[in-house]
Amino acid sequence: MKKKDIKKKIGNEFESLISSNFDSVISKIEKKKGVIIEMEKPKSNKAKVWGVSLSFAAVILLIAGIFGFNYFNQDKAAQFLATIILDVNPSIEIKVDENEKIIEVNANNKDAEVVIGDMELKGLDLDVATNALLGSMFKNGYIDEAKNSILVTVLGADDTRNKEIQERLANDIDAYFASTSVNGSVISQTLTSNSDLEKLANEYGITVGKAELINKILAANPMYTFEDLVGLSTTDLNLLATSNKNNVQDITTSGTASEANYIGRDKAKEIALKQANIKESNISGLEIQLDFEDGIMVYEVEFYSNGIEYDYDINATTGDVIKEDKDTDYDDKDTAIGNAGTNNTSSNYISTAKAKEIALAKANVKNYYDYDIEFEYENGHAVYEVDFETSTKEYEYIIDAKTGDILYENIEAEEDDDDYKHSTSSSNNNSSSSSTSSSNSSTSTISKTKAKEIVLNHAGVTEYFEYESELDTENGVLVYEIDFETRNYEYEYVINAKTGKIISYDKERND
């Protein structure tokens, strides 16, 4: 029963009680109008008092009954509705009933205990309690311009109510940020009960809200691992989740995650351009985004200049150049490279067109396809890596980008013609050593391309680097020894060069 209904019912009872006596008194006054009434000694009023007392007692009992019924029904209706998790760090869980009143507030870590302090939040409206907790986070320095992100997770069985609470809380927190000097960002999501997720969260000592956000980032970018991301702050996770590279789904975000802890995009751009020795006015297609690689946050800086694509990884904290890569930029590879003319990455290097000419002349090939050329640094040495195919063979060359000397040559038969194997290597002084191995049908081996396909499929890897493949002999068996890396792991394979069977493999964390 609502409060206004209770008041109305009580009022009616009092009115009924009082009006009945009031009418009797008025009646007597009317009859005696103009007559002097002599006062008589009053008789015992016990019966009357008892009667009136009983009447008032009945009213009191009625009031008590109404309020008691109402509170009983309130208790019955105040069932648990949802858990709201606020991750900053601190990490706080708030349980609310169907009226969105606080049932209890739990601290998930020491920082959360500081935030909650001696506040008594039970029974308060959710929005009032949330504002109080936000105020304490600001006061205690857990939210500032560098740590400006809050993850809101609503966990409950009623998905409709979950979404209502999610939207309202996100708006309330946005409004709170607007009243402060901090440009905050809110990530919000809804969640239903999931035992596997709870187990994962308990294993790593985090909330299910943070575990769910990490899983969503992993779904968008499988190059990360859960172990990589679990130690990141809410602000860093926000940066990754909202990156154009990842584009995480099923979350709602407002505001922009802060990069105040890092050197910033402008500084990262400046460092990359200085490394490339190129002016900003001479570049196009500039892209800068934060990423997480090998345990650190990095700025990935990409741009194009003079037919070359430049790719740098800059340590987001120190500004160190972690990776540098330069690739020829083209759509129609043969045409663009053929027209490249004097396109260089530096005046000290031969052009991509010249490198192509050297490789084709060495192979004595005119008709080819799947041509590819890349500018790379190998052990600090600038080289062109040139690959192409003919109808019968696959060619691979590494050419010194300064002198044009062929440093490495590998020629393999296509899979349907394994009777030709040839590889040579030469040094800058043009002295060379070569080794040639030939095979007939009884000793034919699978191609390096096929061997590569086998190990990558086995590893479940599509993006990799530092790929190396060598033909060797182990215990009288011809094998391919293959090594490559991903962002997180190093792989080593030994496979039978004739059958393609994997003899051994090893996978280790990339340190």
Same domain, 121 and 249: yes
Does one domain contain both 229 and 279?
no
Helices marked H in 179-280: 195-204, 208-220, 226-229, 234-241, 265-276
CATH number of the domain that residue 292 is part of: 3.10.450.40
Assigned domain for 37 exists: no
Q: Which domain holds residue 243?
A: 80-254
Residue 342: pLDDT above 80? Answer: no
3-class state of residue 125 by DSSP: strand
Phi first, then psi: give them for residue 501, nearest 5 degrees.
Answer: -70, 135
Buried b (16+ CB within 10 A) or exposed e, 78-104: eeebbbbbbbbbbbbbbbbbeebbbbe
Which SS3 state, helix, strand or coil, does residue 358 take? helix
User: What is the three-state SS of 144-182?
Assistant: CCCCCEEEEEEEECCHHHHHHHHHHHHHHHHHHHHCCCC
Same domain flag for 87 and 225: yes
Both 115 and 234 in a single domain? yes
Within a domain: 227: yes
pLDDT tens across 3-32, in order? 455 545 545 554 454 444 445 544 544 444
129 and 250 part of one domain: yes
186 versus 504: the higher-pLDDT residue is 186
Helix (H) or strand (E) holding 254: strand 252-254
Q: How many structural domains does the chain have? A: 5
Cβ-contact 452, 493 below 8 angstroms: no
Q: Which residue's entry shows tokens 């809804």?
A: 190
Q: Are residues 193 and 307 in the same domain?
A: no
Same-domain status, 185 and 295: no
Together in a domain, 231 and 136: yes
* Any domain includes 34: no
Q: What is the DSSP string of 2-67?
A: -HHHHHHHHHHHHHHHHHHHHHHHHHHHHHTTT-----------HHHHHHHHHHHHHHHHHHHHHH
Please indicate, yes or no, whether residues 311 and 404 belong to a single structural domain of this protein: no
**pLDDT for the residue numbered 510:** 76
Residue 359 phi/psi, 5° resolution? -65, -45
Average pLDDT across the chain, whole number: 79
Residues 155-174 pLDDT 10s: 999 999 999 999 999 999 99
* pLDDT value for 147: 96
Cα–Cα dist 413/437, whole Å: 12
Task: Determine, yes or no, domain membership for 259.
Answer: no
**Lowest pLDDT segment from 136-140, 230-234, 239-243, 337-341:** 337-341
Give the per-residue pLDDT at 169.
96
Residue-level pLDDT at 12: 56
Closest CA to 133 of 93, 98, 167: 93
- Clarify whether residues 344 and 407 are in a common domain: yes
* Distance between first and last Cα of the chain: 66
Q: How many residues does the chain have?
A: 511
Tell me what pLDDT residue 349 has: 80
Instruction: Say how far apart CA 228 and CA 233 lie, in whole Å.
Output: 12
Residue at 43 is within a domain: no
Strand pairing report for 102-107 and 149-156: unpaired
Question: Crossing angle, helix 208-220 and helix 234-241, to 10 degrees?
Answer: 30
Look at residue 41 and tell me if it is in a domain.
Answer: no
Question: Is position 33 within any domain?
Answer: no
Tokens of 294: 């090998």
190 occurs within a structural domain:
yes
Report DSSP state, residue 206. -
Indicate the pairing of strand 149-156 with strand 185-191. parallel
Q: Are residues 208 and 161 in the same domain?
A: yes
- Which residues lie across from 85 on neighbouring strands? 93, 153
Tell me: pLDDT of 61 over 50. no
Do 161 and 308 reside in the same domain of the chain? no
Kindly report which listed range (3-17, 472-486, 491-505) carries the lowest average pLDDT score: 3-17
